[in-house]
Structure 1
Amino acid sequence: MALEDAFANFTRRDWERESATGTVRLAIVGIGGFARQRALPAIHTGSYCETTVLVTSSPDRATDIAEEYDVSHVIDYDAFLAGARTDAYDGIYVATPNAFHGQYATAAADFGKHVICEKPLETTLDRAREIVEACTDAGVTLMTAYRLQTEPTVRRTRELVREGVIGDVVQVHGGFSHPLLETASADTWRLDPDLAGGGALVDLGVYPLNTIRFLLDCEPTGVYATTYSSGGPFANVDEHVAFQIEYETGTTASCTASFDAHASSQLELVGTEGKVHIESPFGGVVPQEMVVESGDIRMEYTGPTVDEVCEEFDYFGHCVLTGTDPEPDGEDCLADLRAIEAAYESAETGCRVGLE
């Protein structure tokens, strides 16, 4: 692959291989900040999904958002679990705190509804596996909301790796930090290990963890990790984490994540014949800026901004409408949770932990 070919038609949706008609009607379960600010607008502007039901603890306080997006039905969590308004939606998007994902995802599966669920699917590997099994038994689509897998820069990078443009990938460096308390209070559920399942590793480190697995298309064989917390609001979770992952190809990845550092994200793949650097891949809006070096050729690319959340929901809707299995499925999340649990074990024991 010539480098200029990699940048041609950069934002193409290579997953949109067949036509799809209609839309998938979604019930949004949990309408917190991300759902209001990113998910609902993305669904509204997208092509393959529409919001028809809001599920919230306070339906009376959601009338404004329902009116803004022309949503006909607003119900509470108990009504959802009891099967209310199942005729009004085809699938659900789960955006509650992590510890509640399972009950809503499995209920939806029991109702015969498709599921797109925020990552991680649950707070432990065993609980996440219950969601996967419920959706498999019900024959419904399950997608973990790894939106970067649908984003053009990451998808073009995977093509470069597959085509051997940078040779064999030897090292990967990824980092994601976000000063959590600048946008959330100290009692946020993200700092409660029972609700979140962990700290910076679960909430931020999962981005490089999953994206690297997607780019390399291979599984980790071992992990070594260290965590640190300064106390105070971070006393019960990992405030900072550093982890190294080994892969079956011999590639190693060094990653960091932090709840209490200057906002930053970066991803770089170094191969035997070149490298790829992606600018700010994990911050929510990828600027479509990347540098590729292959031999003695170096190219910089800056493309139009793409709403990765819109891509994510259109991808999910397209999969449901065409009967296509999504790449970021339930098994994809289980693989990440195995690595996350191994990382926490490593941080506790100070030893490398192998992964089968």
Structure 2
Amino acid sequence: MSSSLFDYEPRDWRTDADGTVRFALVGIGWWTSEYVLPAIETTDHCTTTTVVSSSTEKTDRVRANYGTVEHGLTYEEFADGEAADAYDAVYVCTPNATHLEHVEAAARHGKAVLCEKPMEATVERAERLVEAAADVPLMVAYRMHTEPAVRRARELVRDGAIGEPVLVHGENSQPLLEMIDDPDQWRLNPDLTGYGTSVMDLGIYPLNTARFILGADPVQVQSTMASDHEAFDAVPDEVATFSVVFDDGTHAACSSSQNAHDHTRLEIVGTEGRIELEPAFHMETQLTVARGEDTVEFDTEGVDQMAEEFEYFAQRVLADEPVYADGDHGLVDMKAIAAIHEAAESGGTVDVE
């Protein structure tokens, strides 16, 4: 298998747009602080001018560390439109069940929206979110879509490098309580996280990345779940396994857990070969392609996945081009996740509608 298979342009989404998108970051917890703010600093078309939090201590700290940040707002001030002239777009990274109110506010102020996945806590609230953002650009923050290794995997599948896709195997796990030593955290609170914790937060990665690479959508699911650790008493899925049938006929078997060793992997097996992403989802992605007796590793310079995502979004907004993934794309995942939880409760097969 020739290594020329890997000659491609990973930023085929680039536009000729000039300018800078000024962001308001709504929610400045560990993810925004450790990954988003530093990433934006490295982009060509993005800057952070406003941060929004319930904690003035957090906003003051960010303003002290980032010279571009002019405004620190409370959620109430953001909703009321204070300093709305200082930003062009809003990034929402708060607990799932609070996304709707912040997207509604951003849309009211006429701002483009980049909303973290999953879109909301339930399908119904996600539908309201999409409706609220009908008149502004809305993108769901699936950072794997702009990861070069994932984009190349999609091209290889489309080009028939592994024949016709048949099977998908996906895994995503992490030791949540070691990462955040607090059993009262929002990911373990069903009022804030939604249907559960492992599938909503982790299982969505193999599900959505498989969708992106295959160009297919889920139509049917089965699932089993369990929660034995006392910290997971309020959620059904300390550990979950689920199977998915896609509309192209591909079958997937996936697993996720918030209480296991940190491990991520996605494999797509075709009639003539296989593609493997391992590690896959936790800010590092390595692609391997095997066909017959040949195996080729895709050698890409490590990219900052958050920087790629923000740069993509900014360039599309500046060029007035459609964004991917939009709200309708995100709704498919929400409906699939709801079906996965329903299947775990019923023990049966559930259609994704």
Inter-partner Cα distance in structure 1 for 2:298 and 2:58: 45
State the secondary structure of the residue aligned to 2:275.
strand
1:293-325 C-alpha deviation (Å, 9 max, x unpaired): 123432123321111111000011011001111
1:336 equivalent in alignment to 2:333: yes
Matched residue type, 2:198: A
Instruction: Find 2:288's aligned residue among 280, 291, 297.
Output: 291
The amino acid across from 1:45 in the alignment is: T
1:212 maps onto 2:181 in alignment: no
RMSD, aligned α-carbons: 1.2
Distance, in Å, in 2 between the alignment partners of 1:173 and 1:3 is 25
Look up the SS of the partner of 1:205 in the other structure: helix
The residue identity in structure 2 corresponding to 1:263 is: D
Q: Distance in 2 between matches of 1:212 and 1:244?
A: 12
Q: 1:27–1:55: 8 Å Cα contact kept in structure 2? A: yes
Q: Which one of 310, 319, 324 corresponds to residue 321 of structure 2?
A: 324
- Measured after TM superposition, the shift of residue 195 of structure 1 is 0.2
Determine if the alignment matches structure 1 residue 81 to structure 2 residue 53: no
2:93 to 92, 95, 113: 95
Q: State yes or no: 1:268 paired with 2:267.
A: yes
- Cα distance change of structure 1 residues 93 and 3 upon mapping to structure 2, 3 Å threshold: farther
Asked whether 1:153 is paired with 2:153, we answer: no
Match of 2:252 in 1: 253
Partner deviation per Cα, 1:27-65 (whole Å, 9 max, x = no partner) = 000100000000111111111211000111122442221
Letter in 2 for 1:150: T
Partner Cα distance (1:50, 1:192) in 2: 33
Q: 1:75-120 CA deviation, whole Å, 9 max, x = no partner?
A: 1111011110110011100011111100000111011001001111
Q: 1:3 to 1:135 in 2, by over 3 A?
A: farther
TM value normalised by structure 1: 0.95
Q: Report the equivalent of 2:347.
A: 350
Q: Indicate whether 1:141 and 2:137 are aligned.
A: yes
Distance in 2 separating the partners of 1:305 and 1:60 = 33
Residue 163 (structure 1) aligns with: 159
SS at match of 1:246: strand
**Whole-Å separation in 1 of the counterparts to 2:192 and 2:263:** 25
Task: Find the counterpart in structure 2 of residue 122 from structure 1.
Answer: 120
- Distance apart, 1:183 and its partner CA: 1.1
Q: Does 1:110 align with 2:112?
A: no
Gaps of at least 5 residues in structure 2 are none
Amino acid at match of 1:236: A
Deviations 1:191-216 (A, max 9, x none): 00110112100010001111011111
Structure 1 letter corresponding to 2:52: V
Identity %: 45
Check conservation: 2:28, 2:58, Cα contact below 8 A. no
Equivalent residue number for residue 191 of structure 2: 194
Contact 1:49 1:317 in 2 (8 A): yes
8 Å contact from structure 2 (residues 171, 265) kept in 1: yes
Using the alignment, how far apart are the partners of 1:60 and 1:124 within structure 2?
31
Letter in 1 for 2:100: G
Which residue number corresponds to residue 228 of structure 1? 226
- Paired with 2:188 and 2:53, the residues of 1 have a C-alpha distance of 22
- Any idea what the Cα deviations from partners look like across 1:210-259, whole Å, max 9, x if unmatched? 10111111111100011110041101111001000001221100000001
| 1:40 maps to amino acid | L
Cα separation, 1, equivalents of 2:248 and 2:300: 31
Partner letter of residue 320 of structure 2?
Answer: G
Q: Quote the residue 1:172 is aligned against.
A: 168
CA distance in 1, matches of 2:245, 2:116: 26
Structure 1 regions of 5+ residues with no counterpart?
A: none
